[in-house]
Structure 1
Amino acid sequence: MKCACGGKAVYTRRYSGQIFCKKCFNNYFERKVHDTIRSQKMINRLDRVGIGISGGKDSTVLLSVLSKIAGKLEITLHPILIDEGITGYRLSGINAAEKTCKSLRLNLKMASIKDLAGSTLDELQELGDSKPCTYCGVLRRKLLNKEANEQKLDKLATGHNLDDEAQAIMMNYVAGDINRLHRLKGTATDSDLIKRIKPLNRIPEKEIMLYALLNKLEVASDECPYAGENHRTKIRDFINTLESDQPGVKHKIISGWEKIIETSTPEKKPMHKCKICNHPSSRKICRSCELTEEIKIKRKDATKEVAD
């Protein structure tokens, strides 16, 4: 098989039947990201855009592509990495992110969960906590927003892809949670919350992986040791099975979601300032500070047990 241009085929997209050579695939991919940004009105001219980077394939590809089209969009890029403190896992991501940022001549800003919560994810696990992912997700979001505010950024881009979006939508379908379906749009509801954007949200995970491979990007491939079988992985496997049988299902899930949020109204919750950290929250004390207080209590209890 050959590409329409006559070049050697490297990829066939099942749901459309299109065949791509390396050059045409790269052109399609980068144009798709640019068109997604334009059609969803993600970025304005002269925006300072933060990039949440982990060193993994999604965020590395996102940063690489945005660096190519930043001039056309008239924006500046500001990568941010959150160190969760996971031995043997995070270091490879940091190394990959540093190499990528150096090659793109971008300054990488790093922040750690330990600085925010007083404990790394590994230390939380040692305290006997069985849900490190709960802490990680909440604290990472808090740190990214904090760093973005300190750098006076206008937008915060993350590497969520089509698969991630389809999974999140399906999880909220199953839960019957209309409010969370609306929140997936990423609209900021407070001036202190940096608007989040997802320029890869219409690109399948396998195409992102292919782009990274074809362009020899420096990517960390280690899997988080705390990742395991959970509700999301079951949803992921279910959607992948559907996609295998009916190519294009993931795109249809997105289309259905767009129609739902256009014709429904989310419940509006008043925003407050967290009594502890002063960050915007729908609660009097934000979830991040609640978890941080839980961690302090766990550490105190652990210290008492050692003393006894």
Structure 2
Amino acid sequence: MQCSLCSSKAVYYQRHSSRHLCKKHFLRDFYRRVKRAVAKYKMIESGDKIALAMSGGKDSVTLAHTLIELYGKRRDLEFFAITIDEGIEGYRPPTVEIAKKVCRDLGIEHVVVSFREEIGLDLDEMVERGSRNACTYCGVFRKYLLNRTARELGATKLATGHNLDDETQTILLNFLNADIERLARLIPQRVQKGLVYRIKPLREIYEKEVVVYAIINNLPVSLEECPYSRFPARALVRDFIYEFEKKYPGRKFSIMRSFEELLPCLHKMYPQVELGECKICGEPTAREICKACELKRELGII
């Protein structure tokens, strides 16, 4: 099939625009949307030191490659990557190696932080010892370690690989759960003391396009799914949005735009609370004890 914009062979059919795109025009459109998202929310500014959350999966590897490609030559910016090793036997070690290779190839500093060294237990051990599901432990401790490590290394921003599919699923899931306050927090209103501001440069890129980008750039990524991934509610929402998008291309963008239109009202309804310090670890929290320390207590670590 021929590219809709030139005579070259197409590598991707973009359903929401009804265009076949060759490699050159796919990349041009991909980069345009990343730069638009970055500019819209001022994700990257002069003087920033940006920490890249690097799992070794398709999203994080594509994120790192894209940001270095677009902004890596700017002398007023600095990039480094953080990999969190949760300690999942058979799953995490290969992705850590991928992360190391990607960072070597891109020429950026890479820091690996492990649950065992920083928390005291691997995720596998937490699941055996505790009563919570694996995703609770993983989500809390990953965020905790990413933020702490990024802050200690002087980062001004923390970039994650969340794509359009991730964002629309989260928006709809929070709405269905009537968790409007969490919805309001998807895009922070301001920088909070102790928290490194999170940015999502791929928020307007389809998950499928992330995969295509990785393939055409021959990036070493892992497509393996975490053995603990069990999100029944999210899976239902994901499948609904997929079928809706399949029948009506572009509806993921519609969900995103609707959320953005509502955002000023959401921020007015739920103004960002001032954070204090956890009485145990000193990390920022809205409560006396942060969630990470609460889970540590449950696990008998502290």
Is 1:290 equivalent to 2:291 in the alignment? no
Deviations 1:87-121 (A, max 9, x none): 00001111111111111111210111222321111
Query: Which amino acid counterpart does residue 135 of structure 2 have in structure 1?
Result: C
Quote the RMSD (CA, aligned, Å): 1.6
Q: 2 CA distance for matches of 1:204 and 1:110?
A: 28
- Aligned residue in 2 for 1:255: 257
Is 1:27 equivalent to 2:31 in the alignment? no
- Aligned residue in 1 for 2:208: 206
Is 1:278 equivalent to 2:279 in the alignment? no
Q: What is the CA-CA distance between 1:187 and the residue it aligns to?
A: 4.3
SS of the counterpart of 1:277?
coil
- Aligned residue in 2 for 1:136: 138
Any conservation in 2 of the 1:186–1:197 contact (CA below 8 Å)? no
SS of the counterpart of 1:240?
helix
- Aligned residue in 2 for 1:235: 237
Q: 2 CA distance for matches of 1:255 and 1:85?
A: 38
- Aligned residue in 1 for 2:193: 191
Any conservation in 1 of the 2:130–2:298 contact (CA below 8 Å)? no
Please identify, of 115-124 and 138-147, the stretch whose mean Cα deviation from structure 2 is larger. Answer: 115-124
Query: Which amino acid counterpart does residue 55 of structure 1 have in structure 2?
Result: G
Any conservation in 2 of the 1:45–1:73 contact (CA below 8 Å)? no
State the TM-score, normalized to the length of structure 2: 0.94
SS of the counterpart of 2:269?
coil
Over 3 Å counting, the alpha-carbon distance change for 1:45 and 1:214 in structure 2 is same
- Aligned residue in 2 for 1:305: none
- Aligned residue in 1 for 2:270: 267
Query: Which amino acid counterpart does residue 43 of structure 1 have in structure 2?
Result: I
- Aligned residue in 1 for 2:48: 47
Q: What is the CA-CA distance between 1:26 and the residue it aligns to?
A: 1.5
Q: 2 CA distance for matches of 1:119 and 1:129?
A: 15
Unaligned runs of 5+ in 2: none
Query: Which amino acid counterpart does residue 56 of structure 1 have in structure 2?
Result: G
Query: Which amino acid counterpart does residue 24 of structure 1 have in structure 2?
Result: H
Deviations 1:32-66 (A, max 9, x none): 21221112211111210000010000000000011
Count of matched residue pairs = 298
Q: 2 CA distance for matches of 1:222 and 1:92?
A: 10
Please identify, of 160-169 and 218-227, the stretch whose mean Cα deviation from structure 2 is larger. Answer: 218-227
Q: 2 CA distance for matches of 1:66 and 1:73?
A: 14
Q: 1 CA distance for matches of 2:88 and 2:131?
A: 14
SS of the counterpart of 2:223?
coil
Q: 2 CA distance for matches of 1:256 and 1:31?
A: 21
- Aligned residue in 2 for 1:18: 19
Unaligned runs of 5+ in 1: 301-308
- Aligned residue in 2 for 1:64: 65
Q: 1 CA distance for matches of 2:246 and 2:78?
A: 39
SS of the counterpart of 1:77?
strand
Deviations 1:184-241 (A, max 9, x none): 1144552210000000001000000000011110101221111124211111111111
Identity %: 41
Any conservation in 1 of the 2:193–2:275 contact (CA below 8 Å)? no
- Aligned residue in 2 for 1:114: 116
Structure 1 stretches of at least 4 aligned residues deviating more than 4 Å after TM superposition = none
Is 1:215 equivalent to 2:217 in the alignment? yes
Q: 2 CA distance for matches of 1:288 and 1:238?
A: 33
Any conservation in 2 of the 1:188–1:194 contact (CA below 8 Å)? no
Any conservation in 1 of the 2:130–2:299 contact (CA below 8 Å)? no
Deviations 1:69-92 (A, max 9, x none): 222584111100000000000011
Any conservation in 2 of the 1:9–1:21 contact (CA below 8 Å)? yes
